[in-house]
Chains A and B, each alone.
Chain A
Amino acid sequence: MTKKPSKENIFHKESNVLENAKRLVEKPSTSTKQLAEEYLSLSKQYEQLLKETKVLTSVGDRLHRKLGDANQELQKQKSEIEEINEELKTNNNVLQDTINELIKARIGQKASSIVLLIAVLLFVVSEVVLEPIIEKNTDSEYIGLLLKGIIALLLKPIDVLVEWLLLRKTLGKMKRFELVSK
C-alpha cells in the first residue's frame, strides 16, 4: 500500500519505495525471483534518486550562493546608504551653521539700524528737550557734554540688548516652524 503525500513528508515517493522493499524482504513467502525483481527495481529507483540528489544539491548550492550574493549586495547598499546619510548629516550641519551665521548677520544689521535710529532720537531729544532745560538751570557747559557722553556709552549695551531680543524672536519663530513641519 502506498502512502498519500503528507504535509510533513516531501519524500513520500522515496519512503514508499523503501517500505515496499522492506516489506517484501521480511515476507517469508517471497521467492528468490521476486527478490531479484525487487532488487532490480530498487537499483533503478536508487539510480534515479542519486541523479535527483545530484541535481537538487547543485541547484540548492547555486540558489544558496544567489541568496548570499543578494545579501552581500544588500550589505553593500546598506553601507553606501549609511555613508550618504553621514555625508548628508555633515552637510546639513554645515548648512545649518551657515544659516545661523546668516541669521546672526542679518539680525546684527537690523539691530544696528534700530540702534542708529535710537541714537538719532536720543540726540534730538537731548538737543531739543534736555539742552534748553540744562542751559536754563545751570551755567555748566559740561553737563550737556556729560549727557551726550552717557548717550554715546549707552549705545553699545542698547545694541547688544536689541540684538538679543531680535535673536530670541527669530529663534522662537524657527522653533514654531520646526514644530509645524514635524
Chain B
Amino acid sequence: MEKLVKEGSDLTPAIDFDPSSGNFVISGKSVPEDSMGFYAPVIDWLKEYVEQPANKTTFSFKLEYFNTSSSKILLDIFNILENVKDTLCFNWYCEEDDEDLEESASDFGEVLSYDINIVKFKW
C-alpha cells in the first residue's frame, strides 16, 4: 500500500498518511468547495488501510478550521478508525487559547469509542 500525500491549499488540508509507520497527519484548513470530491480518495484509502493496519496507528489531527460538510466527512473518517481503535493513538492538536476547537474535539469524542488526546501548542 502506498503513502497518501496531498499538498495543502487555502481551501484544502495537507494530508500525509504513511501506512508502513502508521503515522497519519492532517493539517491546515478544510473548506473545500467539493468536500466529497476531496475526501473520497482519502476514505477509500483508509478503508483499505484498516484491512491491514500497522502495529500502531498515530493519527495527528492538526486542522485549525473546517466547514460543516468537512466535519461530516471527518466524522466518517473517525468512524473508519474505529476499526483500529485498539492500536490507535489519536492526537488532536489545538492552539492554547482555542477553546472552540478543543470543545469540538470533545463533541466528536462523544460518538467515538476511542479516546482523543488533546495536544495544546503555542505558535
Residues of A within 8 A of B (CB): 5-13, 48, 51-52, 55-56, 58-60, 62-63, 65-67, 69
Contacts and interface: CB of A to CB of B under 8 A. Distances in A.
B4 interface: no
Interface in B64-109: 65-69, 71-73, 75-76, 98, 100-101, 103-104, 107-108
B34 A7 contact: yes
Contacts of A69: 100
Contacts of A58: 104, 107
Contact of A65 (B73, B100, B108): B100
A13 B76 contact: yes
Given A56-B72, A62-B107, 15 more contacts: A5-B36, A7-B40, A9-B36, A12-B36, A13-B76, A52-B75, A55-B107, A55-B108, A59-B104, A60-B68, A63-B67, A63-B68, A63-B104, A65-B100, A66-B101
B91 to A, nearest CB: 18
B58 interface: no
State the main secondary structure of chain B at its contact with A. helix
A143 to B, nearest CB: 90
Contacts of B69: 10
Contact of B73 (A6, A10, A63, A66): A10
B68 A56 contact: yes
Given A13-B76, A55-B111, A56-B75, A6 B104 contact: no
B2 interface: no
Contacts of B111: 48, 51-52, 55
B23 to A, nearest CB: 25
B100 A66 contact: yes
A50 to B, nearest CB: 10
Contact of A51 (B68, B72, B110): B110
11 contacts: A5-B43, A7-B34, A10-B36, A52-B75, A59-B71, A59-B107, A62-B100, A62-B101, A63-B100, A63-B101, A63-B104
A167 B72 CA distance: 72
A8 to B, nearest CB: 7
